[in-house]
Structure 1
Amino acid sequence: MKILVINSGSSSLKFEVIDTSTKQTLVNGICERIGISDQLFTYKNKVNSYVEKETKVSMPTHKDAIDHLLKVLTDEKIGVIKSIEELDAIGHRVVQGGEYFDDAVIVDEDVIAKIEELASLAPLHNPANVMGIKLMRELLPNTPNVAVFDTAFHRTMPDYAFRYPLPHEDYKKYKVRKYGAHGTSHKYVSSYVKDLLNKEDSKIIVCHLGNGASISAVRDGKVVDTSMGLTPLGGIMMGTRCGDMDPAVALYLMQKRELTASEMDTRLNKTSGLKAIFEKSSDFRDILKGMEENDEKAFLAFNMFCYRVRNFIGSYILALNGIDAIVFTGGIGENVAKVRRKVCENLEFLGIKMDTEKNEIRVDGTADYTAADSKVKILKVETKEELMIALDTERLVKGE
């Protein structure tokens, strides 16, 4: 099948066409600054190596962006399909599926209504995701659309892991609980490693480390626990998000600084995390550069980040009652050897030992950093969220 994968944001539209028979990407790219001045279109044809980078294209609305994309996909010279009918289905990334969805689902009016209802749990994402779905259904009415939810993979968590110690009515009426995020990435990576281990009752910890970061404990293909909570603000510290901390801190600062709830939300989501500690930037590359220049704040940001990752790994080894593999993925997890080394440091007492020389060798795709005498695998796996969305879409459309 040829699947068009769409990730619709408030002012952007990421896209990728994947041939599921070969698991190969035919084309990918992004429409940026939609509805803002100077809209940009980036398009990379993986078949003939044609690249169009940040070309100015008029895209005042998402519909204009999709119209332009469909024209380019069928262009004689730079396209990858002869007609739109070659697209077998469209897979959409949807951030929040709440308790309604524990798997991907073929889109109908009821599905759309439920995604819209859940917008309060993901106000920056779900409305934009729905907009993309509605537009594709309008423009390609005969092509099936599938919604693939970031939260669905985490729905196997037991109640004692996903419930918060708050009054029951808060859960019953407002569905306040842990949902997790990055589920598509955790599903792809853990499934890949489970096949690699070829072991019954596999126990895998996936560390998806990027500007947004989350960790999951996966036992025999099912999530036991994950770090992000009601929203992607929870868990480890991230680029601009604080992660877990004493909830009273927010109340204290609101009182002292006379902040509104909205202002406090911005502070926790946009100006905290690595950015707050390092101050110069939230980009990990800048932090590494700062460490080379002996910047104390860079070292503090680095150590705080790795310390929190280690804490979750330790907690999840207990939740899994053991560990077979620790897996790093995401921009930081895949590319920053110093983080992998620091996180795995002094864990020999748990049977976890890294080959630090291998860890320093930069390779694409999957890499094994396990020392010869380690009882636990230490791996790096390139996440392929779009491929996972495409495969889930194919499965649903085929009725499997």
Structure 2
Amino acid sequence: MDSILVVNAGSSSVKFQVFAVESEGALRRLIKGQVDGIGSRPRLRASGAGNDPMADRAYPIETIPDVPAAMQVAGEWLRNEARIHPLAVGHRVVHGGPDYVRPILVDHGVVARLERFVTLAPLHQPHNLAPIRSILANFPTIPQVACFDTAFHRTHDALADHYAIPHQLHAEGVRRYGFHGLSYEYISRTLPQIAPDIAKRRVIVAHLGSGASMCAMKNGLSVESTMGFTALDGLPMGTRPGQLDPGVVLYLLSEKGMTASKVQDFLYRDCGLKGLSGVSNDMRELEASLDPQAKLAVDYFVYRIGLNAGMLAAALQGIDAFVFTAGIGENSSGIRARVAEQLGWLGVALDPAENTRHSRLISAKTSLIPVYVVPTDEELMIAQHTLTLLMNGQSPNSRHERVS
């Protein structure tokens, strides 16, 4: 059976899915799994298409100390026990910089270029690239495709793309990229089936998870995003602060004596909901907590979503629909209800019963703007891109494009 393997590697986990390639290029999910607890309490878990368990194994710490080791364990299980020999492997790569406007077949040269963006996405980029290097070294004949979270936003015009800094810095790549693009691209492609009357109109999509952002879309394309040069900007997140006056960074450097690397680690790991609450970076725990600081963190999250929705509505010159997606957006009826209250000035009104049921359409019939909950599927998006490039027979260098 022909199949596509999709890999999404982080600092402490490697998530993977396998899709069967069926007639006329259709994809069917076969396996979903992950190796988590890398370097601490490693564990391999996998389930089949119907969530039936296929593997659940713990390993000694020294067996899986890093991402390449996790890839080896997952790969051996897939080959030897699941009997999976994929046609190609698709990877989520957070940052494509100004060079890559669409997915690309990978070679060593591409990996070298992508390593330049490690400092722009330190929580993600090095770990995204680790399994690519591992497969290049051990299985060099297997095609690999890098799919970028920045690519969907390369349709931004110059006003949305620039900062008010000297042009030379923009030419060097200091610009507003936007992230979570694979999620937004999936929503853009799915909306015509769910709500064809609004799919090409003015839509705000809220990708609310441990990482959180919002995107303004028109005609199915990204017009504006809350994230910019790095994945630190915009909404507050699990451990990242979101919008922050650059003067705060200068203060940390000059008054607190922090090094640049300490500031980077602080902003990526100790801020956001975790820093504000002092309790947790998990929204589920914060919503259940009676701690006043936990309440403040939740209130702040909702408040900032409302503020950014106003900004995106201005970029679109109006709004025709609002979409919730990702972990919090798909699962927290409480956050959705509170965000809807923030958007009441736009004419948004929820149907409490439909919201509690996590229905696809959760707005009331009286709402001036329809509100949807659309589960995202970044892995399927990656698999589709991978299969497309494989069928087109693109060479790695033919997909390298520079955006001026």
TM-score scaled by length of structure 2: 0.88
> Identity percentage over the alignment?
38
- CA 1:242–1:124 in 2, change beyond 3 Å: closer, same or farther? closer
- Per-residue Cα deviation, 1:156-184 (whole angstroms, up to 9, x for no partner): 111111211112222223x1111111111
- CA 1:3–1:120 in 2, change beyond 3 Å: closer, same or farther? same
1:62 CA displacement: 4.5
- Residue 198 (1) aligns with residue 203 (2): no
2:34 paired residue among 19, 30, 38: 30
Aligned to 1:331: 327
- CA 1:6–1:257 in 2, change beyond 3 Å: closer, same or farther? same
1:389 CA displacement: 0.4
- Per-residue Cα deviation, 1:308-345 (whole angstroms, up to 9, x for no partner): 00111111112112222211111111111111111111
- Residue 181 (1) aligns with residue 167 (2): no
- CA 1:257–1:153 in 2, change beyond 3 Å: closer, same or farther? same
- Residue 43 (1) aligns with residue 58 (2): no
Aligned to 2:340: 344
Distance 1:64 1:248 in 2: 41
Aligned to 2:295: 299
- Residue 16 (1) aligns with residue 17 (2): yes
- CA 1:236–1:60 in 2, change beyond 3 Å: closer, same or farther? closer
Distance 1:163 1:351 in 2: 32
Q: How does 1:21-100 map to 2 (within 5 A)?
A: 21=22, 23-34=27-38, 36=39, 38-46=41-49, 49-56=52-59, 58-60=63-65, 62-75=67-80, 79=82, 81=84, 84=85, 87-100=86-99
Distance 1:306 1:54 in 2: 39
Letter in 2 for 1:341: A
Aligned to 2:288: 289
Task: Answer yes or no: is the 8 Å Cα contact 1:194–1:202 preserved in 2.
Answer: no
- Residue 395 (1) aligns with residue 388 (2): yes
Letter in 2 for 1:355: D
Structure 1 runs of 4+ with >4 Å offset: 60-64
Task: Answer yes or no: is the 8 Å Cα contact 1:234–1:244 preserved in 2.
Answer: yes
1:233 CA displacement: 0.6
- CA 1:194–1:226 in 2, change beyond 3 Å: closer, same or farther? farther
1:61 CA displacement: 5.6
Distance 2:66 2:282 in 1: 30
Q: How does 1:1-400 map to 2 (within 5 A)?
A: 2-21=3-22, 23-34=27-38, 36=39, 38-46=41-49, 49-56=52-59, 58-60=63-65, 62-75=67-80, 79=82, 81=84, 84=85, 87-173=86-172, 175-199=173-197, 201-290=200-289, 293=290, 295-345=291-341, 347-362=343-358, 367-399=360-392
Distance 2:42 2:357 in 1: 39
- Per-residue Cα deviation, 1:245-299 (whole angstroms, up to 9, x for no partner): 2221222243332222222223322221112222111211121112xx3x32222
Task: Answer yes or no: is the 8 Å Cα contact 2:279–2:294 preserved in 1.
Answer: no
> What secondary structure sits across from 1:211 in the alignment?
coil
- Where in structure 2 are there 5+ consecutive unaligned residues? 394-404
- Per-residue Cα deviation, 1:86-144 (whole angstroms, up to 9, x for no partner): x1211011111001111001113332222123323223433332231122233333322
Aligned to 2:401: none
Distance 2:37 2:336 in 1: 35
- CA 1:67–1:289 in 2, change beyond 3 Å: closer, same or farther? closer
Distance 1:178 1:246 in 2: 16
1:191 CA displacement: 2.0
Task: Answer yes or no: is the 8 Å Cα contact 1:210–1:332 preserved in 2.
Answer: yes
Distance 1:37 1:273 in 2: 24
1:209 CA displacement: 0.6
Aligned to 2:398: none
1:68 CA displacement: 3.0
- CA 1:337–1:112 in 2, change beyond 3 Å: closer, same or farther? same
Distance 2:351 2:41 in 1: 48
Aligned to 2:397: none
Please provide the CA RMSD for this pair.
2.3
- Where in structure 1 are there 5+ consecutive unaligned residues? none
- CA 1:70–1:286 in 2, change beyond 3 Å: closer, same or farther? closer
> What secondary structure sits across from 1:368 in the alignment?
coil
TM-score scaled by length of structure 1: 0.89
Task: Answer yes or no: is the 8 Å Cα contact 2:18–2:30 preserved in 1.
Answer: yes
Task: Answer yes or no: is the 8 Å Cα contact 1:96–1:150 preserved in 2.
Answer: yes
- CA 1:163–1:373 in 2, change beyond 3 Å: closer, same or farther? same
> What secondary structure sits across from 2:184 in the alignment?
helix
1:8 CA displacement: 2.8
